[in-house]
């Protein structure tokens, strides 16, 4: 089993470190998306006013806050001396970095004049073909990173991952069949596959983190 003490920082638990880094990256990417989306919408509308200033100030504050969280989370971070643990750490960092880049591309890739400029939170909003091509081309790299993670993660990490995976599978089963039955009974709108996908990912991640750091 690899030694997880190598990734601890002074006075900071691994859970707090992970929360700071992941939360900071998400906040920073969201802030950049807000700036890009609002700029495109404002350019399309041909006007920048005091509301624009408020939006940019809030987004800048979020960006600074997210950057501070990431910097705080990686302070005094040192790679392990163990080759296997070092590769594990690099794979995790590489996966987070790739996810942040792809998230930023998705936010920035909405064509001018589309509804995405006004509603950056809509996951059905169109993106440019070039951005879509880059994201699709990155999937083999993401698959390789996942493969290397499975080869380098220790037994405790694998057990936490499997625990979250089981919760995710149950979430998919009950959410998909429950939503489908409710839709056929006229109680809910037509099932949204992507919404169920994100529900699975969120439950999986929570289960993984809880089992990993409890």
Range of the domain at 107: 4-153
Answer yes or no: do 175 and 212 share one domain.
yes
As a whole number of angstroms, the distance between CA 18 and CA 160 comes to: 15
- Bigger pLDDT: 89 vs 110: 89
Sequence-distant (≥ 6) Cβ neighbours of residue 95 within 8 angstroms? 142, 145, 146, 149
Query: Can you say whether the dihedral through the CA atoms of 69, 71, 77, 83 is positive or negative?
Result: positive
Sequence-distant (≥ 6) Cβ neighbours of residue 77 within 8 angstroms? 7, 9, 17
pLDDT in tens, 55-76: 788 888 888 888 888 777 766 5
8 A C-beta contact, residue 92 and residue 84: no
Residue 121: pLDDT over 50: no
Return mean pLDDT, the chain: 77
Residue 116: pLDDT over 50: no
Answer yes or no: do 170 and 143 share one domain.
no
Q: Is the pTM of this model over 0.85?
A: no
Answer yes or no: do 135 and 166 share one domain.
no
**Backbone torsions φ then ψ of 137, nearest 5 degrees:** -65, -25
The encoded tokens of residue 113 equal 């004049």
- Bigger pLDDT: 123 vs 36: 36
As a whole number of angstroms, the distance between CA 41 and CA 48 comes to: 10
Q: Which residue has the tokens 């990912």?
A: 201
3-state helix, strand, coil in the chain (%, to 5): 75, 0, 20
DSSP β-bridge partners for residue 12: 9
* Residue 54's pLDDT band (cuts 50, 70, 90): confident
As a whole number of angstroms, the distance between CA 39 and CA 95 comes to: 29
Pick the most confident of 54-63, 124-133, 144-153, 163-172: 163-172
Answer yes or no: do 131 and 166 share one domain.
no
- Quote the number of domains for the chain: 2
State which of 136, 153, 170 marks the end of a domain.
153
What b/e readout covers 48-65, taking b as 16+ CB neighbours within 10 angstroms? eeeeeeebbeebeebbee
């Amino acid at each position: 089993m690899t030694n997880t003490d190598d990734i601890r920082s002074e006075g900071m638990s691994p859970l707090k470190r992970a929360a700071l880094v992941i939360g900071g990256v998400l906040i920073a990417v969201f802030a950049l998306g807000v700036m890009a989306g609002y700029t495109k919408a404002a350019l399309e509308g041909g006007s920048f006013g005091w509301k624009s200033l408020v939006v940019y100030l809030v987004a800048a504050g979020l960006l600074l806050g997210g950057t501070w969280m990431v910097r705080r989370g990686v302070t005094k971070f040192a790679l392990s001396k163990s080759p296997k643990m070092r590769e594990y750490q690099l794979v995790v960092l590489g996966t987070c970095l790739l996810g942040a880049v792809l998230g930023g591309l998705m936010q920035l890739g909405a064509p001018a004049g589309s509804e995405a400029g006004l509603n950056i939170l809509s996951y059905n909003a169109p993106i440019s073909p070039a951005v879509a091509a880059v994201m699709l081309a990155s999937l083999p790299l993401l698959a390789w990173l996942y493969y290397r993670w499975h080869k380098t993660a220790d037994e405790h990490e694998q057990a936490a991952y499997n625990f979250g995976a089981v919760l995710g599978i149950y979430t998919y089963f009950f959410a998909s069949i429950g939503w489908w039955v409710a839709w056929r009974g006229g109680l809910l709108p037509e099932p949204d596959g992507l919404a169920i996908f994100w529900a699975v990912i969120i439950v999986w991640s929570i289960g993984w983190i809880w089992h990993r750091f409890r």
